[in-house]
Chain A
Amino acid sequence: MSAALDGVPEPVIAVEKLGKCFRLFEPPSRRAAAWLSGGRLGRPREVWALRDVSFAVTQGECLGIIGVNGSGKSTLLKLLTGVLEESSGRVRVKGRLLALLELGTGFNPELTGRQNIMLSTQLLGFPDGYAEARMGEIEAFCDIGPFFDRPMKIYSSGMSTRLAFATFLFLDPDILVVDEALAVGDMFFQRKCLAAMAEILKRGTTILLVSHDMAAIGNLCSRVILLEGGEIAYMGKPEDAISRYFARSGPPGGGAHPSSGAASDIGASAGVASALRRHSILATRTHLGPQGLHIMAARVLDRLGHHSLRVRAGDRFAIQLLISADAPVPEPEIELEFRDRFNRLVCGLSLSALGHALPPLLAGEGRVVSFRLNAALEPGEYSFTLAAYDRAGAHKRDGWRCHDSHAGLGPLHIAWDRELLPFYGIAALDCAAALDAAPKAE
């Protein structure tokens, strides 16, 4: 029974049980031994960069591929584009696939932008006149003015990106593979690219988007694959994939899975505590103070109480922490700081500043602390810091003693999915309008 008969469109990309194994010969002379002995000697070390990956993409779909570095994203793309040969399984691609892999590296710095576009299209084997016919559109989209006809060695990296992106966009591919293209380029160009990609999606182009920019993934993709260790860890809705990605990868620099914590009497609701631990966004435990208060787990809950790092602007959300003391803490204190992506402090809060005081904790005691917040922030990515203190030292000259601190958590993605924000600017002030008739001038 053919899929087309059921009214389900034929996939433009079909990947079945795809695997890629790199055979490493160290030192290289082992390869010579393997060749000469017909494979009996000099066995290579086999590294599977991708294993048992299956999925299908239909026309007009935008599939996102996310995962930490080394999870096999690039290998998958290279197999799809035909740069690498698969070790097992198979790949079928229908139509012309163009890949924007690491933009701008294929350009010759001595040639002008225009000449490079010609050369690129020749390199890709396009017929004569193909690029010329689209040069006007490309030049207009790049919007780099007179630089278009100057050697690319004087371009900024943003300009090269513009050129590369514009070129690939206007070559009318059936399938466009975009790999980290949006990382460079200014915000306005990023927006332009996103709008352009949305436009070609509407026209029926299929897009594969590989990015660490979860905002772009969340905005464009209808389905997302999360790769982990060369295998598909999750495939489905973008929001779910993204929150799993953050949950598993932890904050930048972390990478380890959240520690499960010690099984001690923490004096908190067992259900909440175990949910907290399961979804904890803390990567590793850091101990700054010798003993005292520790943050065991933390998570972000959206308006509906779901574990998520994606919150709609203006929505209520909560940050929940599990703290535990391994020594008596007379005046426990929790501090919370939000920073934007320029690392500017957006807001710093503490329990005491909010007018709360935690009762003293004994060794082995724990608490669940929740901060309820309003995401009245400009959409974008924010990181946050959680710190646990003992206020008992506050009266001394050296201030509070910080026991445990986790910086760079998140990123918390403040999203907006409608046309207009209810405000503009970096944050919404709590505001209500009142209308009264003005008294007549006397």
Chain B
Amino acid sequence: MLEPLYRHRRYILKSALADLRHRYAGTSLGFVWNVLQPLALILVFSLVFSRIVPVRSAGTASKGVSFLLYLCAGYLPWLGFADCLMRCLNALPDNAAYLKKLPIPEQVFVAKAALSSFLSMMLSLLLLPALLLVFDQPIGGAILAAVPAAVLLIGFGFGLGLLFGTLNVFFRDINHLMAVILQLWMWCSPIVYTIEVVPERYRYLFWFNPVHPYLLAIREALLEGRVAAATTWLAMLGWAAAAILLGLLVLSRLRHEIRDVL
């Protein structure tokens, strides 16, 4: 099931790059919009939470990291994940023109959507080293550990995208349902609040939230300059592998009818 991804690797890469370049084609700022949009959101959030509704963030204050950095390191990967999931979810209907005419396996288009999300997520994550420099924070080699963590996060999104994207072909409600779920999911994850605001005895619940280990690892790499614990990596790997396997399983069971329905 993964062999077609290798066979069509050049198409996946080229079209994802083209996607990134042309998403804002015809605009004068072009490429910069990839970064400006998340930046604007983050500015609004940091204003709201640091001035208007101050969040009790003892944890971050004690580590001497401003709330803005904390927010960026969590919110940008989350946006990337949500973007990846939604794009993968719609990859099959969006590429119906190809699917109905060419015998190219479905997962190629889902992978293309995931890669395209990954690229724009990495671009927006470049904001962080820039912010670290601006705020005179230390930058260490461990920051690079954010890259494999981001790859695994996108892998998890790709898996869920395969699973729900396949089902979405048959039940278009899933698309809208997922948009709602993503909203709730975000507030169930420590992104705009820190884990410390949650009472100690409930914190274990976060380990049932699949995106938590990814956010944790990325944040630790970017803000604290250390590589996440082995258990965190194991959890990331586990969730991603499980999602991809389940997605491929569902796709292989339903693929023979997908193009009849599109």
Contacts and interface: CB of A to CB of B under 8 A. Distances in A.
A43 interface: no
B10 interface: yes
Interface in A82-133: 82-85, 99, 101-102, 105-106, 108, 110-111, 115, 118-119, 122-125, 128
Contacts of B99: 83
B22 A101 contact: no
B14 A83 contact: no
B84 to A, nearest CB: 21
B103 A82 contact: yes
A28 interface: yes
A212 interface: no
A28 B171 contact: yes
Contact of A99 (B22, B101, B257): B101
B175 to A, nearest CB: 13
B32 interface: no
Contacts of B25: 110
A85 B259 CA distance: 9
Given A28-B170, A110-B22, A118-B14, A123 B98 contact: yes
A28 B104 CA distance: 26
Interface in B56-104: 97-104
Contacts of B101: 78, 81, 83, 99, 101-102, 105-106
Given A83-B259, A110-B18, A125 B102 contact: no
Contacts of B11: 119, 122-123, 125
B200 interface: no
Contact of A22 (B97, B103, B260): B260
Chain B interface category by residue count:
20 to 34
A68 B256 CA distance: 27
B104 to A, nearest CB: 7
A47 to B, nearest CB: 10
A106 B103 contact: no
B8 interface: yes
Interface residues of A, number: 27
A125 B98 CA distance: 14
Contacts of B100: 78, 83
Nearest to B13: A122
Contact of B256 (A85, A106, A122, A125): A85
Contact of A122 (B10, B98, B170, B260): B10
Contacts of A124: 102, 104
Nearest to A84: B259
B170 A31 contact: yes
B201 interface: no
B262 to A, nearest CB: 10
B90 to A, nearest CB: 17
A202 interface: no
A123 B171 contact: no
A32 interface: yes
A341 interface: no
Contact of B171 (A32, A84, A118, A125): A32
A78 B259 CA distance: 10
B89 to A, nearest CB: 16
A23 interface: yes
B103 A81 contact: yes
Interface string B155-194: 0000000000000001110000000000000000000000
A150 to B, nearest CB: 14
A106 B97 contact: yes
Interface of A: 22-23, 28, 31-32, 78, 81-85, 99, 101-102, 105-106, 108, 110-111, 115, 118-119, 122-125, 128
Interface of B: 7-8, 10-11, 14-15, 18, 22, 25, 97-104, 170-172, 256-257, 259-260
The 6 closest A-B pairs by CB, nearest first: A82-B103, A122-B11, A101-B101, A110-B22, A85-B256, A122-B10
Given A82-B103, A115-B18, A118-B14, 14 more contacts: A28-B171, A81-B101, A83-B100, A83-B101, A85-B259, A105-B101, A108-B18, A108-B22, A110-B22, A110-B25, A119-B14, A119-B15, A122-B11, A123-B8
